[in-house]
Structure 1
Amino acid sequence: MNDQNSIPLWWLALAAALVPMLTIHLTFLVSAMEGHVAWCMPYWDSCTSISRTGRHGTAYFLFKGTMLPSALLGILFWWFNARWLRQLGLTGAGIAWVPWLGLVACLALGFYTVALGHAGDGFYLIRRIGVVLYLSFTFLCELLISAALRQHPVWRWHGRGLLGVCQLTLAVGILSVLINGLAPELYRRTDDAFEWVFALLINLNALWLAWLWRISRFRARFWAG
């Protein structure tokens, strides 16, 4: 591709990975400082859900003001991931699914963000569906990309590493389901921590992809010519 007509896109991938990850930690700190949630370590104390950090006070506006742009960034991120894989010479039905699964995931994030902080059964249902679709479809996108990279002679090591992160993410999800079924009381005390860990892992996977975009010098153009 002619470099004069294209731009490097690793910054887009970095923003798509970092903005949601930084947002949930920043809104937690703001909510804790304003007294809306307790000071704790949510990854193992399971003291607050991610949603609760953005429901009240300044964090409410901070969460919505960053997560809605994150959803738009995510749509571009998954669309360009498919293009990046094709530029690496990889093909397959799984790659074609990535932009569409990513679109659903990011739309779900958008609906979840809009519904956050509003009372009522309808808003609660939107939030639950939104968070499940966002986390699960984002995981599927990362799994498909990891599987595709494993077939590449140069990038297969990274594919294995990314697949390992996906396997760890899946293990966290399965463990939470097992605890919910076998020990509901324990699950009620730990489900928020599982959500934090799951979200962290999918964002770390996205950060790894951003690094791969940079070292592979992935470039694209948004216009014809």
Structure 2
Amino acid sequence: MVADNSRIPLWPLPLLLTLLFVVAAHAAYLLSIQGGHVPACIPYLDGCVSISRAARHGWGNHLFRLLVIPCAVLHALVWWLSMRWLRDGRVMLSLGVVSAFALAVYATFLGTEGDIYRFLRRYGVIVYFGFGYLAQLALMRRASAAKALPPRLIVAMSWISIAMLMLGVANVAAGQLAPDPAMKDRWENIFEWWLGLLMVGWYAVLAVGWRKQHLAVHIERRDPL
């Protein structure tokens, strides 16, 4: 006999993903400033520090790992739920899961020393952004074809994706054109902060879409006979 049949909304999951990453990056930076590990500035404008350096030392590093590793798990869960929601999309799921795993690797080895760990951190963040971006494009394509999201939300997601692409191109251009290595680093840091914000901000828009679609999982609890 069924005793309870409840619905758990799914939209808080991508929203929580966004909030965890934003809090992790900015709180870690504040703790690193307090500990004297990095200079104080507005990184989105001044580029005095990268996200990695802001979360590499002391308590900031511990907090960043504590929040970002669960964030990576949420990434994978959101992509699995997206595949179930759209009733297909194995390539999308594969891209999303690889991106989530790369984020977990990056967070795990951030602050460690050695060439191997440096390699894992560097390519972990590259794979996270690259594969995550491709997964987002795949979701937008499938959601648009299936009319699974309101058109205005697809447009909002598309503008975020265009902005990320432009930042990526600008980052490559700055690396080639900036004559001063210090200036090059500053521009790369600025692009990294904005790119990270846009990447997780995309999931906040997805959360709005899931809320509007009333997506939820059903949980049935049965009394023993």
Counterpart in the other structure of 1:175? 170
Structure number having the greater strand percentage: 2
- Over 3 Å counting, the alpha-carbon distance change for 1:50 and 1:223 in structure 2 is farther
RMSD, matched Cα: 2.1
Partners of 1:16 and 1:74 within 8 A in 2 = yes
Q: Please give the TM-score of this superposition, normalised by the length of structure 1.
A: 0.88
User: Is 1:109 aligned with 2:103?
Assistant: yes
Percent identity for Structure 1 against Structure 2: 33
Equivalent runs, 1:1-225 vs 2, <5 Å: 4=5, 6-86=7-87, 95-151=89-145, 152=147, 155-183=150-178, 185=180, 186-221=183-218
Q: CA deviation at 1:221?
A: 4.7
Structure 1 residues 222 and 39 mapped into 2: Cα distance closer, same or farther (>3 Å)? farther
Which SS does the other structure have where 1:44 is aligned? coil
Change (3 A) 1:98 1:154: closer
- Tell me, yes or no, if the aligned pair for 1:75 and 1:102 is still in contact at 8 Å: yes
Q: What is the rounded CA distance, in whole Å, between the counterparts of 2:60 and 2:121 in structure 1?
A: 17
Gaps of 5+ in 2: none
- Partner Cα separation in structure 2 for residue 42 and residue 13 of structure 1: 25
- Structure showing the higher helix proportion among its residues: 1
Contact 2:99 2:128 in 1 (8 A): yes
Q: Which runs of 4+ in 1 moved over 4 A?
A: 221-225
> Which structure has the greater CA radius of gyration?
2
Count of paired positions: 216
Cα deviation, residue 154, structure 1:
5.9
Question: What one-letter code is carried by the residue in structure 2 that aligns with 1:100?
Answer: S
* Alignment gaps of 5+ in structure 1: none
Contact preservation (8 Å) 2:72, 2:104: yes
Deviation at 1:111, TM superposition (A): 0.9
Please say which of residues 147-156 and 131-140 is displaced more in the overlay: 147-156
Deviates more, 1:58-67 or 1:77-86: 77-86
CA distance in 2, matches of 1:145, 1:130: 22
Identify which of structures 1 and 2 has the higher relative contact order when contacts are C-alpha pairs closer than 8 Å and 6+ apart: 2
